[in-house]
Amino acid sequence: MDPDGFSASMFKWGGLAAPPPPPPPPPPRELGGLEELFQAYGIRYFTAAKIAELGFTVNTLLDMRDEELDDMMNSLCQIFRWDLLVGERYGIRAAVRAERRRHLLSADASHALDALSQEGLSEEKDAAGSGVWEMVVAKQRRRSRMASMDEDDADETEDDGGNERQREHPFIVTEPGEVARGKKNGLDYLFHLYEQCREFLIQVQNIAKDRGEKCPTKVTNQVFRYAKKAGTNYINKPKMRHYVHCYALHCLDEETSNALRRAFKERGENVGAWRQACYKPLVAVAARQGWDIDAIFNAHPRLSIWYVPTKLRQLCHAERSTAAAASSSITAAGVDHLPF
């Protein structure tokens, strides 16, 4: 045996190269703005990453309906076996709604956005030293201030107060059964809109029952949003709240309502004057039933779904106080003239 060959073979055996190192892990996938959209709503980073792996982006989520958002979350749980928290489900919906409002405001209130952008620069500079997440929180705070410029989501409040803003009336005074001519609609059409709102409320209630959510009992902003999605843009909160007492008079005392319509049509009065005149007969109805206008609305099947206008409640309270003062003065006068 050649010792040189043996040593050479041993040298070659020990000189084998070490196995190559494992490849570096792939860089984390860009979330396409999802982390910024979800951070202020308690959505975990890995949940946003799973949504991005499914191919969803911020623009895709904004264009999806609520039903499609539910389908996306169900797919996330089924495909990845991901334990999606209950709070994350609500947080995803809330984040999408807030982002939609921000886009609407950016189109309709550019002057407000310019003022907020100057304030946002200083906030971002302050948050730069604290990290990316703090900067996102600062942006979300600005969005919340911008969202406050939108419609009030407190459904229990009533915006038909004493200081009513002037608006052009889209209706004309017509007699019962009369078809309006021209660009404006008649009062029969106005009352028909309230019946449509009632149908939309029933549909919203059925959807809420199917989802196991809280079921609204009155016409709220949720119903108006549903009507808008259904394509009935002519049904909106300001218009329907503006004439709800006129519809109440039509439901409670149709004969008086028809007589009032005929009288104002003969005099050529506009619908604004007719609207103001509808308050007095309603106060008289409340006087005959103990001044409880809320009970009167709740007892009527077509009015129970509407909030009592603030102005109507104030007029009933003022008239009740006046009647009480008058009765007390009459009683005092009778006591003074008692024979002794």
Pair of tokens at residue 43: 């959505």
The pLDDT score that the predictor gives to residue 30 is: 60
Give me the pLDDT at residue 81, please: 80
The whole-angstrom distance between residue 75's C-alpha and the CA centroid of its chain comes to 27
Phi, psi angles (nearest 5°) of residue 8:
-65, -40
- Supply 161's token pair: 């107060």
pTM over 0.85: no
From the number of C-beta atoms within 10 Å of its C-beta (0-12, 13-18, 19+), residue 157 rates as exposed
Domains of the chain, start order: 34-147 (no CATH), 187-324 (1.10.4180.10)
pLDDT for 144:
55
Is residue 265 within 8 Å of 299, Cβ to Cβ? no
Count of CA atoms in the C-beta half-sphere (13 A) of 160: 25
Per-residue pLDDT, 116: 44
Angstrom distances, CA of residue 222 to CA of 102, 128, 215, 228, 267: 18, 38, 11, 10, 39
pLDDT score, position 127: 43
pLDDT at position 304:
92
Q: Report pLDDT for 68.
A: 85
Candidates 205, 185, 202; CA nearest to 193 is 185
The residues of the chain scoring below 50 in pLDDT are: 1, 11, 13, 26-27, 111-130, 132-133, 147-166, 335-340
Contact 224, 236 (CB under 8 A): yes
Cβ proximity of 286 and 292 under 8 Å: yes
Which pairs count as long-range contacts for 282-291, CB under 8 Å and 24+ apart, including other chains? 282/245, 282/248, 282/249, 282/252, 282/312, 283/312, 283/315, 283/316, 283/319, 285/249, 285/252, 285/253, 286/316, 286/319, 287/319, 287/320, 287/323, 291/316, 291/317, 291/319, 291/320
CA distance 230 to 200: 9
